[in-house]
Structure 1
Amino acid sequence: MNTNLHFDCLSGISGDMTLGALIDLGVDPDLIRTGLASLNVAELKLHVDDVKKCGFRATYIRVEHPEQKAHRHLHHIEAMIEAADAISEGAKTLARRIFQCIGEAEAKVHGCSLQKVHFHEVGAVDSIADIVGTSIAIDALGIDSVTSSAIPTGTGSITIDHGRVAVPAPATAEILTGVPLAYCEIESELTTPTGAAIIKTLASSFGPPPPMTPHRVGYGAGTRDLPGQANVLRVTLGERHDAAADPGKVESDRVTLLETNIDDATAEQLADVSQRLLTAGALDVWQTPCVMKKGRLASVLSVLCGGSKAAIMQNILFQHTSTIGIRRQILDRTKLSRRAVEVETAHGPAKGKVVTLPDGTERFSLEDDEAKRLATASGKSTSLIQNEAVENWNRQQKS
């Protein structure tokens, strides 16, 4: 059975909402309290209460502690986590990954090294408790995968230690690069840096819930009341049924497709921009012949890339083609799990890849550049080289 945890972030996500939802799901709050106590933060108390948001019950988390003004560095927080003897190694590892995610975003936003990043709001005791508490809860649930809806950030502006900033805050915006965002007009900070880092670290994909049988549902409450909707985070724990439930066989992710019609470029120019796009990190680039509205022959230039690369690809298209408009789509993609291998051949070692099919069997193929290299060196055809490499790999698996 593959146990999946799905986050419904209609009203955004924060650290306290996440911890509240996981406790509401059934995680023992005393397990969280014991782990947090081992952080050796004086007089830290975790309060768990039932509240109502727009008429719906949810669990509200409040961390009580003496006021502290200290700005912590990443190594201070990691030392606190490492010294906590009542927290499992799995929970410690997850907490460090979440703080690493925040630290890398803060370093980029402030233009400094990771070692010199000051954790302001996120370095406060309540945020540390939210992240560590969430890590303890996730580890206790023993889940196999995490999925999430798209993330709304809210609009407007907020005041942080560095002054007035637009929503999402700079660190939140940086953390959420590559994560699908949901449209939302609510003037409030719906997603905090802590919440963004938690969901980016945990979730393997974003979109509707995967095919699954729900077993338990939990609700975590935010502090504010929102107009027209309950300020709650819902988490659903259940058994996942789709092929992607086995991460060793079929995987899923989300990619961006950019397309533009070009009717005034030579074949050489299209080849040049295609190579530039691939060099810059495009997953794939292709051309499709088409006829435009005035009967002119043209090509549809298509670029597939990760969400974080979309702006780079767009700039290349605008700079190196005559296009004045680019279409964009966000696509869910299913792909076979793959790994790089090296196979021995009669002409020396060669690089290839192995993919795992849904039934668990494996398939090898030689990289095209390697086939061309060995064909040139041996005087044989690339197809013959490919066949020899496949036979050698199959033979090596049986030996």
Structure 2
Amino acid sequence: MSGSDVVEVLREVAPSVLGVLVRRHHDFDACEDALQEALLAASTSWPQDGLPANPTGWLVTAATRRLVEAWRRDSARRRREANDLLREVPAAPEQLPASGADDTLALLLLCCHPALRPPSQVALTLRAVGGLTTAEIAHGLLLPEPTVAQRISRAKARLADGLVHPREVFAPPTEAQRTERLPAVLAVLSLVFTEGHTASTGEHLHRPDLTAEAIRLTRALRAALPPGAGEAGEVAGLLALMLLTEARRPARTSADGALVPLAEQDRSCWDGAMIAEGTALVEDVLRDGVPGPYTVQAAVAALHDAAVDPADTDWPQILALYDTLVALWPESMSRLGRLVAVGEVHGPDAALAELADLAQDPGLRTHHRVAAVRGHLEQAAGRDEAAVAAYREAARLTRSAPERAYLLDRASRLT
């Protein structure tokens, strides 16, 4: 078995293993340390000995034994805990379930505990469920490694302070618990994907490791939900949105890394398999129930992906979907995205009139995308001087080097 195959298996089963360990033994830090040692042991032995029949059971057994060893070394006052743990170590790995779907879902819900702030939720999710190291998370989020380590440490400490009954947290979640907590989970996964799709800072437009991890975790979440769960539709909608968006990534930058806008992309480079899977998911959700915000956004992405040529884009239908989205979720960025469709259907001046009001939103007042949309609309209206000023303002506000270069290039073409 190759080393790359081992890494893939380890990354897939690690969240389930950590969920089992924390559910049994409650100490997040100690369980995570033991899991890291077990993963290291597996990465050494599995390429030589072959994949065990039950990788999850093998890792749980190995990690549990390491917990026992650690607590044995921790003086006489921990002797009782060690003896209790010894009785819990399974006789053979095969006695443990091969898959821990319920534990993965519980772990996701735990990482998105409302006691944690969103940045901490993102970091802890990537660490505990995504299996990324602190260094990998710091690289993906473009943050100093000590900052990420501090967020993770504080998040775990906060959970330890706030969870009076850990066993209840790692029991199979009730329908009410899923309904209450799933929006935060989806928001975190969406945020991770968005940061990977368009990095908020730095020299690169994309962070493919983050988009891939967000898609993988969303797939895991969808698989972990029980059949018929009422929340399954929006999970599928978010997965569809990610797939339909990620499908365009190969054409979204030129050979030198410059941003290529949607209308100018080589659509033959788009990933047809991702588009087909995402479109099928959207159709299934729309057929089976009332769509939520992520599904509506996915439907917009599907219409863009269905257009063989930019001129074939069904803008009236896209505008109708945006109207539905804003009614469901009157969030600033969705309202801003709607104005692009308004400009295509009713003309740029109609969109600019609405943009003047939207730009007063406190959350958008200094956001570079407002100025970028204004530049696009002014250019479409033939007012090049105003468009240049808007593009330059957007370039000044963005922290993304590829976006800044693109906006300045748009401005220079009009001067």
Q: TM-score range by the shorter chain?
A: under 0.3
Q: Which has the higher contact order (CA 8 A, sep 6+)?
A: 1
What is the TM-score with the length of structure 1 in the denominator?
0.26
Q: Which has the higher helix share?
A: 2
Q: Which has the larger radius of gyration?
A: 1
